[in-house]
């Protein structure tokens, strides 16, 4: 794999993200403020899927298969049973796509939803493209070539103390008593530790991009899938940030559904003791 190939993949991912955003905006226009078409829950939890998610993923997948017939594909709306993604990953170029990350926001007409496209090479995220549909902010990165947003190079905040930290997280889509207790206790612990503030955007990909651009200082969540974070992981890394598994405090397995991103490792290690650890989630 050459640098020219990686740039070609990045450019095609940008084209797909922009074309997908146009389709999403067309759907928004057609629905005229009402909820978007057919909406259903995934696995009985609070994660939603719409006709638009499925249509956009189908467009992206068919476009990739036409241009790169030997490449692999992993998509949120077409993923198989838990554990199948990791089991089937190969060293081949693999496109990992979330057609709309932040579907709950999209359905309600609330800001904060994105198209997320990554290319893995040798099982590691190499190319990342995240397009904030509402704001038109295009985040891109290639491993070893820096991270950018609308032509401006990104850099993390360098925050290294929890008292100065603006922290992003999510409640997750799970509504069982144990999950509610875990996130509630983690937030109580962090607030008691005097974290400066907590925000929930509704999009894991955008949360990580916000850390990459210095708008937030850290983000943690138990539950994000590989398609939620693969693209943003490249962007974070190339902006100088760090990502860790909040249970092991080692580099994350992006299929593990455990993720901690921070501007600095010092900040990540101050946050970690206050997080209730969750290890029972099925992997991707």
For residues 239 and 236, what is the distance between their CA atoms, to the nearest angstrom? 5
What is the pLDDT, as a whole number, of residue 39?
56
Close Cβ partners of 242 (under 8 Å, ≥ 6 residues apart): 236, 261, 262, 263, 264, 265, 268
Confidence of residue 1 (pLDDT cuts 50, 70, 90): confident
Average pLDDT over residues 197-213: 98
Q: Of 95 and 52, which is predicted with more confidence?
A: 95
For residues 169 and 164, what is the distance between their CA atoms, to the nearest angstrom? 16
Each residue of 178-203: pLDDT tens digit? 999 999 999 999 999 999 999 999 99
Average pLDDT over residues 221-236: 97
Tell me the catalytic residues: 76, 98, 100-101, 103, 228
For residues 33 and 30, what is the distance between their CA atoms, to the nearest angstrom? 9
> Does the pLDDT of residue 38 top 80, yes or no?
no
For residues 168 and 159, what is the distance between their CA atoms, to the nearest angstrom? 14
For residues 93 and 284, what is the distance between their CA atoms, to the nearest angstrom? 18
Token pair recorded at residue 93? 């170029």
> Does the pLDDT of residue 40 top 60, yes or no?
no
> Does the pLDDT of residue 45 top 80, yes or no?
no
What is the pLDDT, as a whole number, of residue 63?
98
Enter the DSSP assignment of 109.
Answer: T
What is the pLDDT, as a whole number, of residue 44?
46
What is the pLDDT, as a whole number, of residue 31?
60
> Does the pLDDT of residue 41 top 70, yes or no?
no
Q: What angle do CA 226, 136, 42 make, to 5 degrees?
A: 35
> Does the pLDDT of residue 34 top 90, yes or no?
no
This prediction has a pTM of 0.93
Q: Among candidates 152, 156, 125, which has minimal Cα distance to 218?
A: 156
Confidence of residue 214 (pLDDT cuts 50, 70, 90): very high
Average pLDDT over residues 1-13: 93
Instruction: Work out the end-to-end distance of the chain between its first and last CA atoms, rounded to an integer number of angstroms.
Output: 26
Q: What percent of the chain has pLDDT over 90?
A: 81
> Does the pLDDT of residue 48 top 70, yes or no?
no
Q: Among candidates 161, 157, 117, which has minimal Cα distance to 241?
A: 157
> Does the pLDDT of residue 82 top 90, yes or no?
no
With contact defined as beta carbons under 8 Å apart, do 91 and 121 qualify? Answer: yes
Token pair recorded at residue 249? 């405090």
The CA–CA distances, whole Å, from 53 to 6, 23, 36, 103, 149 equal 26, 10, 10, 8, 24
């Amino acid at each position: 794999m050459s640098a020219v190939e990686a740039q070609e993949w990045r450019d095609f991912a940008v084209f797909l993200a922009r074309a997908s955003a146009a389709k999403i905006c067309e759907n928004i226009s057609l629905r005229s403020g009402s909820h978007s078409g057919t909406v259903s829950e995934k696995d009985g939890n609070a994660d939603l899927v719409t006709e638009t998610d499925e249509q956009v993923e189908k467009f992206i997948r068919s476009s990739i298969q036409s241009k790169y017939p030997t490449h692999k594909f992993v998509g949120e709306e077409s993923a198989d049973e838990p554990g199948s993604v990791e089991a089937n990953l190969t060293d081949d170029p693999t496109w990992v796509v979330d057609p709309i990350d932040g579907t709950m926001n999209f359905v309600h007409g609330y800001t904060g939803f994105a198209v997320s496209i990554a290319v893995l090479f040798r099982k590691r995220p190499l190319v990342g493209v995240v397009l904030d549909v509402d704001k038109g902010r295009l985040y891109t990165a290639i491993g070893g070539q820096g991270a950018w947003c609308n032509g401006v190079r990104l850099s993390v905040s360098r925050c290294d103390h929890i008292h100065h930290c603006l922290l992003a997280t999510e409640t997750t889509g799970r509504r069982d008593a144990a999950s509610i207790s875990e996130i509630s206790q983690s937030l109580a612990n962090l607030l008691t530790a005097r974290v400066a503030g907590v925000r929930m955007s509704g999009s894991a990909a955008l949360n990580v991009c916000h850390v990459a651009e210095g708008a937030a200082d850290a983000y943690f969540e138990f539950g994000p899938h590989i398609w939620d974070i693969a693209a943003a992981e490249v962007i974070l890394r190339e902006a100088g940030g760090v990502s860790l598994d909040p249970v092991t405090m080692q580099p994350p397995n992006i299929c593990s559904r455990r993720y901690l991103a921070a501007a600095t490792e010092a900040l990540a290690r101050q946050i970690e003791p206050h997080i209730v650890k969750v290890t029972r989630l099925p992997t991707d």
